[in-house]
């Protein structure tokens, strides 16, 4: 590394408006700032992210968030060496807001502009936080994504498998809705599950009998709905303990599917990966995290979970992906389009359905 690189990152592909400044110097990377302005309250009344509301909020707030990121970092645009922006996949209105701002700033300052795939941002985060070497296995589990990636290089990813329908975070959110718990569903279902019996409702473990590491979570939500309705039909309602047991049963099923498929993904890699890294909001779940750690330990693969603020959507990961690309000599360009769909691995089969972020990557 011959010189320090300082990048501004911009992220607006779902419901977080984010900007960050990351610097790579001789002593390694440093996150100088990472500002994230969430939109949970704006979408709360609708039970999901409304693309038009998200796009408008990004357009209105991005300028301020970028200014904050520069102020907190204590740098001006004069000290920025390049701009990295999420160019997809995601909700296209939001992605466009970020791309237009980044294009404007880059043109005005004559700075290199690096279009970044949001999933690459997540996938390279373990190198920002822990400097791990390629190849490593990454499990991305959030409200919008669920996939196993073998990360071989800055620009080489093999998608080993993923969900064929809902993402696990989406399933947690829908479960919370079905049981009258607050959004986001993950934390509220988890806190109920702690007090419940995970064995009372033996929910299905979809696709465990199938080879490979594809997963399915939408049937689980339907099974939970049926169990809830059966209780209502039988007793006229559900008790507090019923709800805890339903949450515990659901969480146990998600955890077991993720753990077993993770074990299979490790086997599929052949050569032992340097680590199993997780990212995404669902990785915050203690039961699921413990199950994944146990799988890693059994396989003799180090387990790595970046701090939650870097596991969930943020712009530091986008700035870092930009630094990695510039450092690897990968071209930066103003000649790119924003993409609602942008698979990391073109050889992997297309995913069905549509998640919180719109069309699946």
Say what angle helices 218-235 and 168-178 make with each other, to 10 degrees.
Answer: 10
Nearer to ligand KG4 (CB atom), residue 112 or residue 184? 184
250-289 residues near ligand KG4, rule: CB under 6 A: 280-282, 284-285
Residue closer to Zn ion (CB basis): 65 or 111 = 65
165 binding ligand KG4? (CB under 6 A) = no
Residue 270 Rama label (left phi>0; alpha psi -120 to 50; beta): left
Binding status of residue 170 toward Zn ion by CB under 5 A: no
* C-alpha pair distances (Å), 211 with each of 133, 161, 253: 28, 10, 18
Contact range with Zn ion by CB under 5 A, out of 204-212, 245-253, 259-267, 308-316: 308-316
Using CB distances below 5 to 8 A depending on partner kind, what does residue 187 bind out of Zn ion, ligand KG4, none? ligand KG4
Q: Which stretch binds Zn ion (CB under 5 A): 93-101, 219-227, 235-243, 313-321?
A: 313-321
Cα(first)–Cα(last) distance of the chain, in Å? Answer: 33
**Does residue 186 interact with ligand KG4 by CB under 6 A?**
yes
Based on the shown chain and the rule CB under 5 A, indicate whether residue 15 belongs to the binding site for Zn ion: no
For residues 87-146, which are near ligand KG4 according to CB under 6 A? Answer: 142-144
- What SS3 class is residue 150? strand
Contact between 169 and 48 (Cβ < 8 Å): no
DSSP state of 137: E
51 binds, among ligand KG4, Zn ion, none (CB under 5 to 8 A by kind): none
Apex 119 CA angle, 355 and 98, nearest 5: 85
Minimum CB distance to Zn ion, residue 144 (Å):
6
Q: Which residue is nearest to Zn ion (CB)?
A: 313
**Minimum CB separation from ligand KG4 for residue 235, in Å?**
28
Q: Which residue is nearest to ligand KG4 (CB)?
A: 186
Residue 1 burial by Cβ neighbours in a 10 Å radius (0-12, 13-18, 19+): exposed
Q: Do residues 39 and 15 lie in contact, with contact meaning Cβ atoms separated by under 8 Å?
A: yes
CB within 8 Å of 61: residues ≥ 6 apart = 17, 37
CA 40 distance to own-chain centroid? 16
Write down the least CB distance from residue 69 to Zn ion, Å: 18
Q: How many CB atoms lie within 10 A of CB 95?
A: 29
Q: Which is nearer to ligand KG4, 177 or 200 (CB)?
A: 177
Out of 285, 313, 344, 360, the residue judged to bind Zn ion by CB under 5 A? 313
Segment interacting with ligand KG4 (CB under 6 A) among 3-11, 165-173, 195-203, 206-214: 165-173
* Residues near ligand KG4 (CB under 6 A), total: 21
Looking at the Cβ atoms of 6 and 312, the one nearer to ligand KG4 is: 312
C-alpha 135/C-alpha 151 separation (Å) is 5
Our finding on whether 11 is near Zn ion (CB under 5 A) is: no
153, two tokens: 């290089």
């Amino acid at each position: 590394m011959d010189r320090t690189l300082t990048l501004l990152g911009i992220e607006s592909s779902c419901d977080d408006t984010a900007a960050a400044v990351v610097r790579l110097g001789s002593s390694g990377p440093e996150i100088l700032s990472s500002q994230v302005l969430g939109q949970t309250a704006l979408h709360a009344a609708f039970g999901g992210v409304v693309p038009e509301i998200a796009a408008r909020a990004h357009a209105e707030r991005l300028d301020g968030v970028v200014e904050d990121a520069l102020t907190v970092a204590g740098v001006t645009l004069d000290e920025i060496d390049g701009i990295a922006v999420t160019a997809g996949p995601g909700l296209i209105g939001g992605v466009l807001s970020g791309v237009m701002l980044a294009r404007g700033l880059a043109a005005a300052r004559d700075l290199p502009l690096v279009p970044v795939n949001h999933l690459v941002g997540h996938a390279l985060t373990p190198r920002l936080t822990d400097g791990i070497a390629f190849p490593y296995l990454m499990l991305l589990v959030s409200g919008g994504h669920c996939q196993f990636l073998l990360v071989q290089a800055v620009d080489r990813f093999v998608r080993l498998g993923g969900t064929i329908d809902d993402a696990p975070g989406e399933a947690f959110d829908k479960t919370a809705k079905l049981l009258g718990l607050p959004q986001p569903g993950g934390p509220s279902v988890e806190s109920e599950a702690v007090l419940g019996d995970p064995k009372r409702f033996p929910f299905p473990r979809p696709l465990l009998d199938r080879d490979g590491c594809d997963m399915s979570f939408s049937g689980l939500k339907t099974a939970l709905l049926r169990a809830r309705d059966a209780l209502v039909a039988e007793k006229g309602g559900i008790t507090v303990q019923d709800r805890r047991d339903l949450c515990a049963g659901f969480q146990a099923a998600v955890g077991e599917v993720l753990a077993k498929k993770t074990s299979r993904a490790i086997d599929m890699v052949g050569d032992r990966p340097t680590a199993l890294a997780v990212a995404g909001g669902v990785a915050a779940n203690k039961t699921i995290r413990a199950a994944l750690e146990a799988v890693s330990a059994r396989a003799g693969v180090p387990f790595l979970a970046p701090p939650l603020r870097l596991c969930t959507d943020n712009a530091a990961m986008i700035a870092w992906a930009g630094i990695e690309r510039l450092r690897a000599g990968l071209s930066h360009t103003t000649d790119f389009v924003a993409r609602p769909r942008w698979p990391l691995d073109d050889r992997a089969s297309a995913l069905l359905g549509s998640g919180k972020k719109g069309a699946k990557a």
